[in-house]
Amino acid sequence: MEGRQILTTAETNPNVCLRHHNKPNSITANLIKPATPPSPTPPQKLQPSMSNSKDGSAPDSLISMEDGKKYWEGIEADVNGMLGGIPSVTRIDLQGSRTFLARLGIGIKTGRKMVSRALEGGAGIGRVTEGLLTQVAEVVDIIEPITKFTDVLQGKPGVGNIFNVGLEGWKPEDGVKYDLIWTQWCVGHLPDDLLVEYFERCKSSLAPDGVMVIKENLSTNGVDVFDDLDSSVTREDEKFLALFKQAGLQVVRSDIQRGFPMVGNTALMPVKMYALKPAGS
């Protein structure tokens, strides 16, 4: 779906996961979802369903993209909604992303370069587009299936084409190449096979020196984890690396996001940024 943040926290495991939105109302209950079951278990189910389910199902096979879309349609179209009731996280997140791009040579300071055209996959209300991408790109195209989110981006400076489809439904326009493709906190809504296909379409849309960035939560449970709250999967680092390879992409740089705050007594799950280019380029 969209590049939004959810938090999945662990009360007994000091690792929590951030994604873009969280379920409206009952913020403390739904915002903080332990990666491992807390003790004692609270009355409301907070932990995600584990991928090593009793029937042996692969975690991504449990994803319902329709359910995921319905979930996000219930989220408010504002930063508070995008960040699950912790809007202050956006400054730290954007600074980490800005630093990562600078290390790739993209930025506005001396020695770095602006890019001509960028694409954000799963843009939501444009938190990353407006807070980062339009500052380093002349034009930013948007992929986002929830129309009430993209309504706020209509006519905004620097915003180009808006594709109101999910990542799985987006098809590159003929002749359009991107210097930068940014996708954050949303690929968990795609099963592995559709995610690889999305990566392949992005790869075909990169300009000769273009780069693709994936910024996502990482599972630290030793397996991918399915979350039935929003019908998404949090993947391990090893799974991402395998999917990148399957799509013909190579990692040219990766960094862990630093500086996220504690939420109560819990820490956020690791968030990693991957810079990708076509293998062999």
Binding site: what residues are annotated? 122, 127, 184
Residue 36 contacts by C-beta under 8 Å, 6 or more apart in sequence?
A: 10, 12, 13, 47, 221
Question: What are 194's two structure tokens?
Answer: 């559709």
Number of H helices, E strands in the chain: 9, 9
d(CA 182, CA 135): 14
Give the Cα separation of 94 and 92 in Å (integer). Answer: 6
Q: Quote the tokens at residue 111.
A: 């020695």
- Whether the CB-CB separation of 199 and 172 falls below 8 Å is answered with no
What CA–CA distance (Å, rounded) separates 260 from 185? 15
C-alpha dist (Å) from residue 65 to 26, 57, 61, 194: 23, 17, 11, 11
Q: Answer left, alpha or beta for residue 249, where phi above 0 means left and psi between -120 and 50 means alpha.
A: beta
3-state secondary structure of 11: coil
DSSP 66-129: HHHHHHHHTS-SSHHHHTTT-TTHHHHHHHHHHHHHHHTTBSSSTT-B-EEEEEEES-TTTHHI
Instruction: List the binding residues for S-adenosyl-L-methionine.
Output: 122, 127, 184
Q: Is the dihedral of CA 278, 114, 198, 226 positive or negative?
A: positive
Q: Are 257 and 93 in contact (CB under 8 A)?
A: yes
